[in-house]
Amino acid sequence: MIRKSDITKLTALTLLLSATGFAQEEAATTEQLQNNINIVWTLVAATLVMFMQPGFAMLEAGLVQAKNSVNILMKNLMDFCIGSVMFFIIGFGLMFGSSTSTGGWLGTDYFMLHGITGGADWTYTFWMFQVVFAATAATIVSGAVAGRIKFHSYLIYCVAICAFIYPIFGKWAWGSLLNDNGAGWLEGKGFIDFAGSTVVHSIGGWLALAGAIVAGVRIGKYDKNGKPKAILGHSIPMAALGVFILWFGWFGFNAGSTTTGDGEIGRVAVTTNLAAVAGAIGAMITSWILFKKPEATMTLNGVIAGLVSITAGCYTVTPIGSLAIGLIGGVLVVFSVLFIERVLKIDDPVGAISAHGVCGAWGTLACGVFGAEAVLGIGDANTGFLYGGGFSQFGVQFLGVIAAFIWAFGTGMALFTAIKYTVGIRVSPEVEREGLDTHEHGIPAYTHDMGEEAPMVPVID
C-alpha cells in the first residue's frame, strides 16, 4: 500500500518533472498497479469463497440421509441464488451504503449497484467478494433445519436474511469497508472481527439455532425417554470432500478479507491453516477420549470449528496464538454438539449451531485474549489480555458477541415463527418419513442401475 509519507515524496517528484507532463500519470500508474494487484487478489479470493457453497452442500448432503440429500443440495443452491439477488437489490446498500444519517445503523445508497461510475470501479470486485459472504451466512442455516422443513419456506427465509438480517448486522461491524461515510456503530467502539467469526458465522449459527428450535426435532431423533439416537449421514466421503472444499475456500475468506495483495495475506493464510489443523486435532482427541475412537464426523467438524474460530482474529494473532484458538475451538465443538443434542435436546443434523454459532463467538472473544499487533509488528492497538492489553478489548468483543446473538436469534425466532404460522414450516410426517427428495423435488438422489448382471468381481485378469 502507498503510505502517506510516500505520497508527499511523490508530490515532490511531480513538481520536479511536471514540465514533461509525465509525472502525474506515472504516479497514478504506480498506485493503479497496486490497485490492480488488489483487484486480482480480491476477485480470486471471492471465487474461492464462492466455492465454499459446494463445500457446505457436500458437507450437509453427506451428513443427512440419502432420502433428503437432493433437498439439502437444492437449498444450498437456491440460498445462493435468492441471496445474490436480494443482496444486489437491498442488502449491499444497507450494509455498505452511507450511514452517517442513521448513526451507523443502516446504509442508504448503493442499492442495485446504483451510482457506480466506470466499468473498472472497485465496487464491482468488492460486491463480488461481499455477496459470497452473505450467501455463506444464509447457507449455514440449511444444515440445522435439514430433513424436515418445506422448501418454499426456506426460500422465504433466504430473502429475509440476505436482504435484511445479515446486512444490517454487517453494517454495524463492517460498514466503513467501502467508504468512510458508512461506519457502523459497533466498529466505532473498536470491535474486531477481521473476516467474520461473528458477522458471518455467529449470525448464521444463531439463525440456525432459531430455525432448529422452531422447526422441532426430526421424527425418530429422540426415543420415548428423550434419549437421542444417531441418524447417520449417508456419505462420509461426501462430507469429507465438503470439509476440504471449505478449507480451500477459507483461504479466500480470511486472507481475501485484507482486500489487498501484499505480504499480510501470507500471514493470514498461516494463522488460518494452523487453526484449522489444530481444530481437527482438538476435536479428534476429544472424541477419542469420550468415545474411545477418533470419530470421523467430529474430527471433520473440528476443522470447521478451527476455521470459524480463527476468522475474527486471523489478522491480529500470532501463529502460536492461532494454534491455541483452533485447538480450543476443536474441543469446544465436540462438547457443544453433545450439549445441544443431549441437554438442550435441539436437533441440529450437521452441528451447524456449534461449529458456526458457538465457535464464532469463541473466536470473536479470542481476539481480546490473543490479539498481538505489537508482537507482529503491525500496529499497537487491539492487544489481548495475554499480551498485556488488559480487558478493554475483550469487553468490546463481548459486546459484539452479545449484540449478534440478540439480533440474529431474535430476528430468527420472529422470522421462523412468522413462517410457521403463515405458509407453514414443517413437512408432513409422511413426507418426512419417505424423504423430501421425491416429494418436494420429484427425483431421488440415487438410482442403482449397474447393468444387467453387473459384475462385482474383477473383470481384468
Site for a copy of itself in 65-84 (CB under 8 A): 65-67, 69-70, 73-74, 77-78, 80-82, 84
Q: Which of residues 310-329 bind a copy of itself (CB under 8 A)?
A: 319-320, 323
Residues 434-453 contacting a copy of itself, CB under 8 A: 434-435, 437-438, 440-453
User: Of 78 and 399, which CB lies nearer to a copy of itself in the complex structure?
Assistant: 78
DSSP string, 119-181: TT-HHHHHHHHHHHHHHHHHHHHHHHTTTTB-HHHHHHHHHHIIIIIHHHHHHHHHGGGT-GG
Q: Taking CA 392 as the corner, what is the angle to CA 390 and CA 396, rounded to the nearest 5 degrees?
A: 145
Nearer to a copy of itself, 27 or 200 (CB): 27
DSSP string for residues in 337-364? HHIIIIIS----TT-HIIIIIIHHHHHH
Cβ 256 to a copy of itself shortest distance, Å = 10
d(C-alpha 38, C-alpha 261), whole Å: 5
Please give the residues from 138 up to 157 whose contact with a copy of itself meets the rule CB under 8 A.
Answer: 151
Q: Cβ–Cβ contacts within 10 Å for residue 73, how many?
A: 20
Nearer to a copy of itself, 224 or 448 (CB): 448
Site residues for a copy of itself, 274-293, by CB under 8 A, read 274, 276-278, 280-281, 284, 291, 293
Nearer to a copy of itself (CB atom), residue 125 or residue 354: 125
The least distance separating a copy of itself from the CB of residue 383, rounded to whole angstroms, comes to: 14
Note the Cα 445 to chain centre separation in Å: 27
Residues in 407-436 that interact with a copy of itself by CB under 8 A = 433-435
In the bound state with a copy of itself, the residue whose beta carbon lies nearer, of 31 and 105, is 31
**CB 136 to a copy of itself: min, Å:** 14
Cβ distance to a copy of itself smaller for residue 170 or 306: 306
74-133 positions binding a copy of itself, by CB under 8 A: 74, 77-78, 80-82, 84-85, 88, 112-113, 117-128, 131
Neighbours of 407 (CB within 10 A): 18
Beta-carbon contacts of 428 under 8 Å, excluding residues fewer than 6 positions away, are: none
The cell numbers describing 15, all together, are: 513538481
**Residue closer to a copy of itself (CB basis): 218 or 409:** 218
Site track for a copy of itself across 193-232, x = CB under 8 A: ------------------------------------xxxx
Q: Which is nearer to a copy of itself, 16 or 402 (CB)?
A: 16
Smallest distance, Å, CB 452 to a copy of itself?
Answer: 5
Contacts of 264 (CB under 8 A, 6+ apart): 258, 315, 378
Number of residues written out for the chain: 461
Phi/psi class of residue 371: alpha, beta or left (left: φ > 0; alpha: ψ in -120 to 50)?
Answer: beta
Residue 228, φ and ψ in degrees, nearest 5: -75, 145
